[in-house]
């Protein structure tokens, strides 16, 4: 029987509608709306679209978004100085720097400059470290969104065999930590993994985040598995394709995410959740200062 679709778009819309209610209640109680500062450097068309989508979602949730649209020639020192100002601005609860950055700016330096309490992308080593020691606070948006999708179809993930394909800092690694936290037995596969097909074939849950169209073949999928495709690859004809052979995988899996309409909208919804959480932490004076 063909797999059922894990509908990230629908779930993200419900999450954003619920956020709107919670933000509105907060404002009615006399508190400020959460505020997200978005820094965009340069004019990469895809980045422009991502930033627009995130700002539109903020609008729907009642979250205030402030755009810093900087020229491609902006220096690293200028970006770090702006983040420093935003770190100390109590009217800003979350800071997002859209990746990729122009080559003169080191993304690691940028991520580390954001105060961990305002790191709503969940990329700062402090926040990834908290996830590693089972004390998650601001969680990396894409893996957190995947967990919410999995929760829609699995009451309990404990004891399940999960394979993550891809081991980037922003997706693959925190994804493995999330699944471990949920009680899965986790294997992370990467560029140097031998016999990738054999690992995928024994997995109850497969999450793929590589950025190579249809790297994971449908025939590798264990019958009845849940398949989450994080990959977004733009093809020569302009269409989008995931990292999994969708139709063939759908013949074997029980659940599969579409591309687009699966993980992407969930990433945006989790960004908004993190922004509200960052505002709540600031209200409660639970501040994560470190070296901000
Ligand atoms: P990335 O930083 O380029 O990382 C890709 C990872 O895949 C790396 O760990 C890389 O290994 C590994 N890899 C490369 N070739 C492989 C192979 N043959 N077998 C197994 N692993 C291999 O990319 P990313 O940021 O994690 O993103 C991955 C994909 O997800 C991209 O298509 C991106 O556009 C998409 N994405 C989607 C969302 C969303 O919201 N839907 C969010 C983020 C990313 P090395 O570390 O050794 O290079």
Read off the pLDDT of residues 167-181 as tens digits, 9 standing for 90 and up.
999 999 999 999 999
As a three-state string, the secondary structure of 185-223 is EEEEECCCCCCHHHHHHCCCEEEECCCCCCCECHHHCCC
Band of pLDDT at residue 288, cut at 50, 70 and 90 = low
**Cα 199 to ligand 1 centroid, rounded to whole Å:** 17
Position 230 pLDDT exceeds 80: yes
Helix or strand or coil: residue 150? Answer: helix
Position 145 pLDDT exceeds 90: yes
Q: Count other C-beta atoms under 10 Å from residue 215's C-beta.
A: 17
Ligand 1 shell residues, CB under 6 Å: 142, 165-168, 170-172, 189-191, 193, 196, 209-212, 215, 230-233, 263-264, 267
**Cα 247 to ligand 1 centroid, rounded to whole Å:** 21
What is the per-residue burial (b if ≥16 Cβ within 10 Å, else e) of 144-166? Answer: bbbbbbbeeeeeebeebbbbbbb
- The two structure tokens encoding residue 153: 């179809």
Relative to the CA of 263, which ligand 1 atom is closest?
Answer: 41
To the query of whether residue 121 is one of the catalytic residues in this protein, the response is yes
The pLDDT tens digits for 237-262 are 999 999 999 999 999 999 999 999 99
Report pTM.
Answer: 0.97
**Cα 171 to ligand 1 centroid, rounded to whole Å:** 7
Alpha carbons 282 and 118: distance in angstroms, whole number: 9
pLDDT averaged over every residue in the chain: 97
Alpha carbons 275 and 93: distance in angstroms, whole number: 7
Q: What is the model's pLDDT at position 285? A: 79
The pLDDT tens digits for 108-135 are 999 999 999 999 999 999 999 999 999 9
If one residue of 51, 146, 168, 266 were mutated to test the ligand 1 pocket, choosing by the most ligand atoms within 8 A of its CB, it would be: 168
Q: Is 133 exposed, middle or buried (0-12, 13-18, 19+ CB in 10 A)?
A: exposed
CB 114 within 8 A of CB 126: no
Relative to the CA of 233, which ligand 1 atom is closest?
Answer: 32
192 phi/psi in degrees, rounded to 5: -100, 5
């Amino acid at each position: 029987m063909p797999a059922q679709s894990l509908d990230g778009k629908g779930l993200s819309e419900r999450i954003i509608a619920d956020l709107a209610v919670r933000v509105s209640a907060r404002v009615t109680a006399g508190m400020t709306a959460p505020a997200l500062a978005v820094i965009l450097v340069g004019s990469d068309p895809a980045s422009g679209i991502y930033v627009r989508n995130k700002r539109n979602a903020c609008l729907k949730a009642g979250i205030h978004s402030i755009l810093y649209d900087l020229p491609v020639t902006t220096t690293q020192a200028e970006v770090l100085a702006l983040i420093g100002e935003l770190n100390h601005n109590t009217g800003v609860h979350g800071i997002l720097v859209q990746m990729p950055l122009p080559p003169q700016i080191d993304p690691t330096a940028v991520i580390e400059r954001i105060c961990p309490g305002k790191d709503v992308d969940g990329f700062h080593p402090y926040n990834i470290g908290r996830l590693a020691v089972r004390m998650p606070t601001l969680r990396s948006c894409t893996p957190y969104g995947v967990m919410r999708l999995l929760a829609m179809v699995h009451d309990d993930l404990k004891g399940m065999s999960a394979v993550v394909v891809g081991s980037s800092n922003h997706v693959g690694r925190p994804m493995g930590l999330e699944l471990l936290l949920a009680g899965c037995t986790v294997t992370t596969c990467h560029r140097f993994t031998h016999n990738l097909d054999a690992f995928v074939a024994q997995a109850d849950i497969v999450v793929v985040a590589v950025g190579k169209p249809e790297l994971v073949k449908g025939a590798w999928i264990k019958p009845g598995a849940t398949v989450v495709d994080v990959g977004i690859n733009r093809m020569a004809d302009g269409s989008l394709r995931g990292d999994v052979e969708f139709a063939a995988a759908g013949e074997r899996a029980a659940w599969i995410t579409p591309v687009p309409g699966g993980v992407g909208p969930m990433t945006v919804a989790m960004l908004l959740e993190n922004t509200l959480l960052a505002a709540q932490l600031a209200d409660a004076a639970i501040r994560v200062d470190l070296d901000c």
